[in-house]
Amino acid sequence: MRRLTKEELKNILNLHEKWLCDEVGGVRACLIDVNLKGRCLLGEDLRNAHLENVILKKSNLIDVNLSHAVLINVDLQAASLAGTNLSFAKLYKVNLKYADIRDTNFCGAVLEDVSLRKSTYNENTAFLLLQCPEEGSFIGYKKVIVNRGREGIVKLQITEDAKRSSATSRKCRCSKAKVLSITSIDGKIEYDYAYSRYDRSFTYKVGETVEVTDFNEDRWYDCSTGIHFFITRDEAVQYR
């Protein structure tokens, strides 16, 4: 694994800046098999960059923009990512152990096989904390298919004993819920029966409890098994 010189890294960053601005000669930053341990990247714009097999241990990435970037097998142990923008980035096998992720934005990010053990975060670390209540019963809403293929909204009571999770968006998952009501999108028509938009064999009937027995408890696998829902009705209506 090669260690980049300061001049080489500066050149890559300059070319990436040109690429972001659609300037002639610009090149997307692709950092592969390089050692950047302890480097300072404070405030750099690395949107849409590709980092693979990169060591960034104890590096300064404060306020770096990594929105929509791809990070594969990147070691960020004990790195400072305070205020870093990782919105809609794709992180696979990334080590954030002991990292400072206070005020970091994870909105819409993919976090698969990511280690967050003993990382430092706060209430402003966007979407790291669970978006739904961690315990107890509460209400959720889900878009479903009702009469003649029309879309509707099911109101769910997530049961007290239900497993629940959320990844890096407002969409949540649970293992068990009671169907309280099913209505049209505008709320004017009531239905007794509906079914899932993605699995027509999974049905919802008013008054009955639905359950997913193979619920995936890894919260970062957003599209995995479970009953997907939102906390507010409006969020469910707007979901596509």
Domain that holds residue 44: 2-112
Total domains in the chain come to: 2
pLDDT at 68: 99
Cα separation of 124 and 195, whole Å? 37
pLDDT reported for residue 30: 98
**Distance (Å, rounded) from C-alpha 46 to C-alpha 29?**
7
What letter would DSSP give residue 147?
G
Kindly state whether residues 106 and 156 are assigned to the same domain. Answer: no
- My answer on whether 185 and 220 are in the same domain is yes
| Beta pairing, strands 30-35 & 209-211 | unpaired
Longest dimension (CA), the chain: 67
**One domain for residues 76 and 162:** no
Is 58 a member of any domain? Answer: yes
72 shares a domain with 38: yes
Residue 46, CA distances (Å) to 120, 161, 177 in order: 23, 43, 42
Residue 128 lies in a domain: no
d(CA 48, CA 90): 10
CATH number at residue 103: 2.160.20.80
The residues, ordered by sequence, that sit 6+ positions from 145 with a Cβ below 8 Å of its Cβ are: 151, 152, 194, 195, 196, 197, 200
Residues 87 and 173 in one domain: no
pLDDT for 148 equals 87
Block means of pLDDT (10 residues each) for the chain, length 240 residues?
A: 95 98 98 98 99 99 99 99 99 99 98 97 96 98 95 99 98 98 98 94 97 96 95 97
Q: Are residues 97 and 170 in the same domain?
A: no
**Residue 124 falls inside a structural domain:** no
Residues 107 and 149 in one domain: no
Q: Are 7 and 49 part of one and the same domain?
A: yes
Residue 23 is which amino acid? E
DSSP letters for 20-73: HTT-TT----EEEEEE-TT-B-TT-B-TT-EEEEEE-TT-B-TT-B-TT-EEEE
Examine residue 82 and state whether it is found in any structural domain, yes or no.
yes
Q: Look-up: residue for tokens 């209505």?
A: 183
Question: Within 13 A of 238's CA, how many CA atoms are on the CB side?
Answer: 8
The verdict on residue 184 lying in a domain is: yes
